[in-house]
Structure 1
Amino acid sequence: MLFTPIAELDPKSTNAAIRVRIIRKWEFRGATNDGPLRHVNLILADEQGTAIHAEIQAALVADKGSLIQIDKVYELKRFRVAPSRNYYKPVDNSMMIQFTLYTQAKLVQDPPPTFPRYAYKLTSFENIGNNVDNKTYLIDVLGILTEIGSLHHVGYNNSNIIRDIFLKDINNTSTKVTLWGHQASSFSVDNNCDENDNKPVVVLFVGCLAKRFKGEAYLSATAACTWYFNPDIPEAQVYYSKLVNTKLQMIRPEATEQEFQASQTLNIEDKTIEELLQLDPDMFPQQGFKCTVTISRLVQDGRWWFPSCIKCNKSSS
């Protein structure tokens, strides 16, 4: 079978067949990542090293999504090619692939070793601050792992779990990556380094957003975020050469009872607006309820209000 290179795909490629490795796979459940499943996302790469974003809508996930596994190579055909969205793009490609009811995926047995295992476009630590307002692309970075922060709760009624990861680059410039929810609780280097030998660990983070807090730029993980320890990529070779026979005391969190409790997901009940309005406010549980809504209109000529102190007019807590 003749396969079309990803670089040659366009919306007219109605009968194209491609052979690709599944580089990444993640679910999208809305901005807070805890709503109903909207679509499953894939990063595909062909033998030429070109990557493209693919999407499987929620209605097709049970039929199509379960067939696709990370790191496997597939022959895909009967898919739709469309212009990629111009916001939060996980790879640099003007096109994307959309699975349809008729999309076929055939697993390739014993594929050649020419398919890439990573899809990334590195941003230097110095340029993270310049990308805070850039919503076109997600950000990928490479650095040495220097500290793993403890799990802790944030947000309303401590409903979110986060963990801060600290990196430094080859020039000793530092940055922070904040992981959320399951990503925060699952981050571990136990299988990649021995705590006693202090050997440096190089990490490739992909799928982040640049943000700023109290004047400091940092990276925040999105649903598309994943990480690779000691990746086999050309940019990492500089680190490996420099770090030969180097020891680095990585700061790790202590396994405390508080962190164990923080890792447990709170069971917050879903409610509709109608159900919330019928509840007695004094009967609300301490953790509150969860309500997913869509903002349909903003009142431009109305003033915002909040509970405040009657003397100083500042927000009351």
Structure 2
Amino acid sequence: MVLIDEEGNSIHAQVYPPVDELFRTRVKEGGVYTFSYFRVRASNIYFKPVENDQMLVFTKWTKVEEVLVVPPAFPMYAYSLASPEQLQARIDSRTQFTDVIGVITAISSIGTTQTKLRQGNSTKRTVTIQTPSNILLDVVLWSERATAFPADEVHKDGQTSPQVVLFVGTLVKSFGGMSLSGSSPCKWYINPDIPDTRKLLASAKPGYKPIVWSEGSSAAVQKEPAQEKKSLRFWISIHLSIIKLSL
């Protein structure tokens, strides 16, 4: 899980089996909660979803209380956009997940490809975005992430107005020059109500071109078989009210 407090501070949290079943129905994305009686330890070495040296571990003694009256200014999204320099530095790195935002320019049909980590073919879909730095970037969604992306709806809406997408939980890959890989930890938010979206919409509306369907990679030509890598942890974004916790 990724938690964010009222001041915008974010931290990673994990729940290990079998305790995860205790929280599966009690903690939902978009909810605001007060947590107590949890462990604090050094963050994971690999697949860090946020830039924080510490993380939380929920146990069977962890208490959860939902906050019903949410402050109006409570942040709704936990993300840290990667700069072009950071994207280059994270190519083929497993250390940290990467968050990006951009205007969708093309969406591919669902296809299959052979990967090195699995026998048989893997399902994939490519979403091409134009970042605030005017970089065309392919985001390759795998397996159920490929089928879950609302491609038809986004394509339809993208015929008349720009569609901004915030991708979180991706890995930067070197195939096709540079692209992003989105497997089970990846999430997206279409036209999220954040300042970065408003800036992109304002810059994209003049001369906007409708989203097109693509049969494959639009930003670059794929030069080698794609490699799918996944985090071993289930990962969601929720919102947290942290009381008496020093990070």
Pair 1:47-2:47 in alignment: no
Q: Deviations over 1:153-187 (max 9, x none)?
A: 12266431111111112343211111011110111
Return the offset for 1:66: 2.1
- What is the TM-score normalised by the length of structure 2? 0.78
Return the offset for 1:212: 0.9
SS at match of 2:198: helix
Q: Distance in 1 between matches of 2:160 and 2:152?
A: 12
Q: Deviations over 1:282-316 (max 9, x none)?
A: xxxxxxxxxxxxxxxxxxxxxxxxxxxxxxxxxxx
Return the offset for 1:194: 4.0
> Which among 51, 56, 60 is matched to residue 15 of structure 2?
56
Contact 2:40 2:55 survives alignment (8 Å): yes
Q: Distance in 1 between matches of 2:133 and 2:61?
A: 50
What is aligned with 2:121? Answer: 159
| Aligned CA distance change for structure 1 residues 196 and 173 (closer, same or farther; 3 Å) | closer
Q: Deviations over 1:5-32 (max 9, x none)?
A: xxxxxxxxxxxxxxxxxxxxxxxxxxxx
Contact 2:100 2:167 survives alignment (8 Å): yes
Counterpart AA for 2:132: I
SS at match of 1:235: helix
Counterpart AA for 1:206: V
Q: How many residues align?
A: 212
Contact 1:151 1:162 survives alignment (8 Å): yes
> Which among 208, 212, 216 is matched to residue 247 of structure 1?
208
> Which among 6, 19, 36 is matched to residue 77 of structure 1?
36
Counterpart AA for 1:231: P
Q: Structure 1 stretch 137-146 or stretch 227-236: which is displaced more?
A: 227-236
| Aligned CA distance change for structure 1 residues 158 and 149 (closer, same or farther; 3 Å) | farther
Contact 2:103 2:162 survives alignment (8 Å): yes
Q: Distance in 1 between matches of 2:14 and 2:86?
A: 29
Alignment RMSD? 2.1
Q: Distance in 2 between matches of 1:62 and 1:133?
A: 33
Percent identity reads 33
What is aligned with 1:235? Answer: 196
Q: Deviations over 1:180-205 (max 9, x none)?
A: 11110111155557448421111111
Contact 1:206 1:226 survives alignment (8 Å): yes
Q: Deviations over 1:244-273 (max 9, x none)?
A: 35432211369xxxxxxxxxxxxxxxxxxx
- What is the TM-score normalised by the length of structure 1? 0.62
What is aligned with 1:30? Answer: none
| Aligned CA distance change for structure 1 residues 89 and 171 (closer, same or farther; 3 Å) | closer
What is aligned with 1:65? Answer: 24
SS at match of 1:91: coil
| Aligned CA distance change for structure 1 residues 126 and 146 (closer, same or farther; 3 Å) | farther
Return the offset for 1:132: 0.9
Counterpart AA for 1:170: P
Greater RCO structure (CA 8 Å; 6+ sep): 2
Pair 1:169-2:169 in alignment: no
Contact 1:56 1:65 survives alignment (8 Å): no
Q: Which runs of 5+ in 1 are unaligned?
A: 1-41, 255-317
User: Which protein shows a greater Rg?
Assistant: 1
Q: Deviations over 1:45-101 (max 9, x none)?
A: 111110111111121122222211110111111111111112211011111110111
Contact 2:155 2:212 survives alignment (8 Å): no
Pair 1:150-2:109 in alignment: yes
Return the offset for 1:238: 2.0
| Aligned CA distance change for structure 1 residues 73 and 138 (closer, same or farther; 3 Å) | same
Counterpart AA for 1:142: I
SS at match of 1:98: strand
SS at match of 1:66: coil
Contact 2:92 2:171 survives alignment (8 Å): no
What is aligned with 2:100? Answer: 141
Q: Which runs of 5+ in 2 are unaligned?
A: 216-247
Contact 1:91 1:121 survives alignment (8 Å): yes
Moved over 6 A (4+): none
| Aligned CA distance change for structure 1 residues 251 and 126 (closer, same or farther; 3 Å) | farther
Q: Distance in 2 between matches of 1:184 and 1:98?
A: 30
Pair 1:98-2:62 in alignment: no
